[in-house]
Amino acid sequence: MNIGWKLMSAGISAAAGAAANAIASQVWEKGLHKQTPKDDDDMLDLPLKEVVLFTLVTTLVHTTITTFVKRKAANWYGAKA
C-alpha cells in the first residue's frame, strides 16, 4: 500500500469536486440563465428534468477532471519513485 499515492489521490478528488461544482454552476447560470440550486430545498423546487441535468453536468465535469489529473499525477509520481 502506497500511502503517498492514496493521499495524492484523495487530494485530487477533493479538488476535482470543488472545480466541478464551480464549472457546473457557471454552465447552469450562463447556459440556462437560472440561479444555481444551493441546497436541498432549492432542488425540491426544480422540475425533475433540471435536477437530472444539473447532476449529469456536475458528474461529467468531476469525472473528466479527476481522470485527467490522476493520469498526469500518475505519470509524475511514477517518474519520481
- Which pLDDT score, from 0 to 100, does residue 46 have? 85
How many Cα atoms sit within 13 Å of 21 on the Cβ side? Answer: 8
- Which pLDDT score, from 0 to 100, does residue 79 have? 58
d(CA 6, CA 8): 5
Residue with cell 440561479: 35
- Which pLDDT score, from 0 to 100, does residue 81 have? 47
pLDDT tens by residue, the chain, 81 residues: 588 888 888 898 899 889 888 888 898 888 888 888 778 887 788 888 888 888 888 899 889 999 998 898 888 877 554
Backbone angles phi, psi at 33, to 5 degrees: 55, 45
Range of the domain at 69: 3-77
d(CA 14, CA 11): 5
Q: Give 65-78 as a DSSP string.
A: HHHHHHHHHHHHHH
Here the cell at position 69 is 489529473
- Count the domains in the chain: 1
- Which pLDDT score, from 0 to 100, does residue 1 have? 56
